[in-house]
């Protein structure tokens, strides 16, 4: 099994994906263990002094003015975990919780938190045992970190609360730890706070969304090319010299992808035949501009994620010179903004895909295709209601594009008076990514049917490869009406699992 070694300088996106989705094992580097011990030594020295230090010998948030005596400090750390594990609603996905825990371990191993090495090792042991704390949908405001979600994870480390075992069954965390020979941690000064105070949940979801959207933007270039082909559009608008004079990198990449898919097609360039068009509609002609802008948004979001993956987010932090200082690095604004930005871009990509699908189904705009791509229009409804489903998905995505980060509700008796709502931005982005996959699957289904109905003209070799792969995956071609949901579900799986891009690249070589 693949192993990810966590050091002091952060982790990569591929590390997060390996642990969250691939079940990779986690190990602490010798450097990380040494840094943990050194930072803990500083915290122990401060804890022994009579002067109050935030997070070490004081309360938290609006209660930070109270100095806590030594005999109550272990109870203080337990209490913050128990009281902050206040999430509600449905459970979040296993991959999200694993990313959350792994990224918190990443910050702990930086040597800036003051957590003991044995606590970090327990975090790794829980991940490696396949134990997943029960974390709920609601509870994080994205400021002071993802407090409630991280608290539910810390509760598991203490042997309290509920968790899911590697068999998928939810049971008391203490029993699961015992079965795997893991001793519950007894938290000491600063450790409870350090386990809760980070942007790890929203960051983990950002990293996974970026991976999914990378695949979907390439898929969207393919489905746009198929729609252009089915509509007998022109590929002249994809010429590199046209995109060079507006040099947005994403736009150029999308145009190049579409051109590669369409190479060798006999269906393109018929826009001036029997019913001449001076230009194709925007949804066809401007596909690279819209998808390209989304690609450039992905590039910006990836830069933010890389910076965050290299960060140590905690409050207070242990500095190399021995100071323990309060700070505001836990604020989720940098991550929240790009999460919202990605939801906007995804909604627009879905919107233009739906417009192309609608054009394929409308006999007045499809340039010779039968109404709704039906076998016997009137007796058959064809793909009429598939477009309804697509429109419903797009409508929800437009609602999900409303930014969460523009909102803030004060908390902690006005001590935390401006919050990021980054967790909420991440949660709605996950839904948007799922919906985008479905929208593109419907365009794929409609566009391939449209191509197949163009008798007497050969599609591009890449298009033919897609159609053959779809049929092998159980997605049926044109014909009389049938139960449509299974076909759409199979098309969704085909796209979601990367089979669409794989089929194309066997012909075109790697796409951007």
Segment (H or E) for 317? strand 317-318
Gap between the Cα atoms of 250 and 430, Å rounded: 22
- The residues, ordered by sequence, that sit 6+ positions from 30 with a Cβ below 8 Å of its Cβ are none
Relative to beta strand 324-325, strand 170-172 is unpaired
- The residues, ordered by sequence, that sit 6+ positions from 411 with a Cβ below 8 Å of its Cβ are 141, 143, 417, 419
Gap between the Cα atoms of 76 and 187, Å rounded: 9
**Residue of 54, 138, 282, 388 marked catalytic:** 54
Q: Is 510 left (phi over 0), alpha (psi -120 to 50) or beta?
A: beta
Max CA separation in the chain (angstroms):
90
- 3-state class of 249 per DSSP? helix
Gap between the Cα atoms of 191 and 56, Å rounded: 9
What proportions of the chain, in percent to the nearest 5, are helix, strand and coil? 55, 5, 40
In sequence order, the β-bridge partners of residue 164 are 132, 170
Give the residue carrying structure tokens 């499809």: 366
- 3-state class of 263 per DSSP? coil
Cα distance from N-terminal residue to C-terminal residue, the chain: 30
- The residues, ordered by sequence, that sit 6+ positions from 6 with a Cβ below 8 Å of its Cβ are 26, 27, 28, 29, 32, 105, 106, 109, 124
Annotated catalytic residue 388: no
What's the CA dihedral at 405, 410, 412, 413 to 10 degrees? 170
321: its two tokens: 């010179």
CB 88 within 8 A of CB 137: yes
Gap between the Cα atoms of 196 and 58, Å rounded: 16
Q: Which DSSP symbol is given to 327?
A: -
Q: Which residues are catalytic?
A: 54
């Amino acid at each position: 099994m693949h192993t990810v070694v966590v050091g002091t300088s952060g982790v990569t996106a591929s590390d997060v994906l390996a642990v969250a989705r691939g079940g990779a094992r986690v190990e602490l580097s010798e450097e990380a263990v040494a840094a943990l011990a050194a930072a803990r030594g500083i915290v122990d020295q401060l804890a022994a002094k009579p002067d109050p230090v935030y997070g070490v010998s004081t309360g938290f948030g609006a209660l930070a003015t109270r100095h806590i005596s030594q005999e109550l400090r272990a109870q203080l750390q337990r209490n913050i975990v128990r009281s902050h594990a206040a999430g509600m609603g449905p459970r979040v996905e296993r991959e999200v919780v694993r990313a959350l825990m792994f990224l918190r371990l990443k910050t702990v191993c930086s040597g800036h938190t003051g957590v003991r090495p044995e606590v970090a090792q327990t975090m790794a042991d829980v991940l490696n045992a396949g134990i997943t704390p029960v974390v709920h949908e609601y509870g994080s405001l994205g400021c002071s970190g993802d407090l409630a979600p991280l608290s539910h994870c810390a509760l598991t480390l203490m042997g309290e609360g509920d968790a899911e075992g590697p068999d998928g069954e939810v049971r008391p965390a203490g029993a699961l730890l015992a079965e795997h020979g893991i001793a519950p941690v007894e938290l000491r000064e600063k450790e409870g706070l350090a386990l809760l105070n980070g942007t790890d949940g929203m960051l983990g979801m950002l990293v996974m969304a970026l991976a999914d959207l990378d695949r979907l933007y390439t898929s969207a270039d393919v489905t746009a090319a198929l729609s252009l082909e089915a509509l007998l559009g022109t590929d002249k608008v994809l010429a590199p010299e046209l995109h060079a004079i507006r040099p947005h990198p994403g736009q150029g990449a999308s145009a190049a992808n579409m051109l590669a898919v369409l190479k060798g097609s006999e269906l393109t360039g018929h826009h001036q035949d029997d019913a001449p068009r001076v230009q194709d509609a925007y949804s066809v002609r401007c596909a690279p501009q819209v998808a390209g802008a989304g690609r450039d948004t992905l590039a910006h979001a990836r830069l933010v994620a890389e910076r965050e993956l290299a960060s140590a987010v905690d409050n207070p932090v242990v500095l190399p010179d021995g100071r323990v200082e309060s700070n505001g690095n836990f604020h989720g604004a940098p991550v929240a903004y790009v999460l919202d930005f990605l939801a906007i871009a995804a909604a627009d990509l879905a919107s233009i895909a739906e417009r192309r699908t609608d054009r394929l189904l409308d006999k007045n705009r499809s340039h010779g295709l039968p109404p709704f791509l039906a076998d016997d229009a009137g007796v058959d409804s064809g793909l009429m209601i598939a477009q309804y489903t697509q429109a419903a998905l797009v409508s929800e995505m437009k609602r999900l594009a409303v930014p969460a980060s523009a909102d803030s509700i004060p908390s902690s008796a006005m001590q935390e008076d401006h919050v990021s709502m980054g967790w909420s931005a991440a949660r709605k982005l996950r839904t948007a990514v799922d919906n985008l996959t479905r929208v593109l699957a419907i365009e794929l289904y409609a566009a391939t049917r449209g191509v197949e109905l163009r008798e007497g003209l050969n599609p591009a070799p890449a298009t033919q490869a897609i159609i053959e792969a779809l049929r092998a995956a159980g997605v049926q071609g044109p014909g009389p009406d049938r139960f449509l949901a299974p076909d759409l579900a199979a098309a969704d799986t085909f796209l979601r699992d990367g089979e669409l891009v794989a089929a194309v690249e066997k012909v075109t070589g790697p796409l951007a």
